[in-house]
Copies of this chain bind each other. A is one copy, B any other.
Amino acid sequence: MSLPKTYKSLVSTVTEGGQLRMEMVEKPMPVPTADQVLIKVEACPINPSDHGVMFGYSDMSKATNDGDALVAPVPPMGMRMMKARIGQALPIGNEGAGTVVAAGESDAAQALMGRTVAAMGGGMYAEYRCVPIMSVLPVNEGNTARQAASSFVNPLTALCFPETMKKEGHTAIVHTAAASNLGQMLVKICKADGIPLVNIVRKQEQVDILKAIGATHIVNSSDEDFIPQLIDAIHETGATLAFDATGGGKLASDILTAMEGAAARTPGAYSIYGSIHHKQVYLYGSLDPSPTTLTRGYGMAWGVGGWLLPNFLAKAGMETAIRLRQRVASELTTTFASTYTDEISLADALNADIVGRYNAKKTGEKFLVNPTL
């Protein structure tokens, strides 16, 4: 197969002049080195974790099109926060899948020729992407690029929650925004692995979604008796670890308050400095960009902090990473099945109206970028 000399790729730049500029650029077609493969990209999800690089701290309510480029103003505070990336055209798209159309000379690279593979490593919103074979996951016979598009971010994040749990000495998990694609994967993983899981959602229809896939502890934060319900669920499961996708507001603090309330019911779990066992909430997303508020009425043995998949994987080591990837490949169309509501082209991804829709991050809506369209 003869390849074109250049390919189209999406990049995002914060300009000196205070503008966020996302646009299509032509790049020269790379030649894979020994341990690299060149992927013709066919399907990439737009994940909340992509939005940071795409839009940063710009004011997206004022986004418009300037020719084919998407532009949005960046307020002065945003410019200060993004100082380190000013002037750099950053490639976007954390993950995706496609077909290997060229391979380096190593046996391992050659073995991937023609295979459908998923890849993680940034710059996937592009017609082609050259990556080290270490960043590639070959999918099982019969699985498609669309099925494999979300093989990394959501599946590995969901798998790394129980890994974090074991590593840090907890025995159950609380999860928020629990009806998301990722949340549904976590329900299936925890069910298969016998890990007690408390699911927090905001709406009755989300309760129904989770019930249908076999979740047992589901708490609706819109209920008036949310906190007492949450204390009951935490008491029953013994959860002292939570992963919160919302980030902002009082939810992380409410979870710690409920953990403390559950501990106060447990003989021997309480001292004059509050409950004894360390209670941890990791903020792995920022669906609510408002500040996080902590009331601190939960003693001294607690922590709140950011949680980022690449940082965790780097600490967990290669063996863990390989084990988790193998599980993703073998359960790609069951545990790790993703559903998409929209499929768009690279050009569509720059259209201000369409950007407004996928930037809304509505539960149940999920966009797929298909660079072959």
Contact = CB atoms under 8 A, between A and B. Distances in A.
A299 interface: yes
Interface residues of A, number: 40
Contacts of A300: 306-308, 311
22 contacts: A52-B272, A52-B273, A57-B297, A80-B261, A81-B260, A84-B264, A247-B296, A273-B308, A273-B310, A280-B305, A291-B293, A291-B294, A291-B295, A293-B294, A294-B304, A300-B308, A300-B311, A301-B306, A301-B308, A301-B311, A302-B305, A303-B306
Interface in A75-92: 80-81, 83-85, 90
A310 B274 CA distance: 13
A295 to B, nearest CB: 5
Contacts of A80: 261
A212 to B, nearest CB: 32
A95 to B, nearest CB: 15
A335 interface: no
A85 B272 contact: yes
Interface in A242-276: 247-248, 253, 260-261, 264, 270, 272-273
A152 B90 CA distance: 53
Given A301-B306, A303-B305, A296 B270 contact: no
A112 B308 CA distance: 53
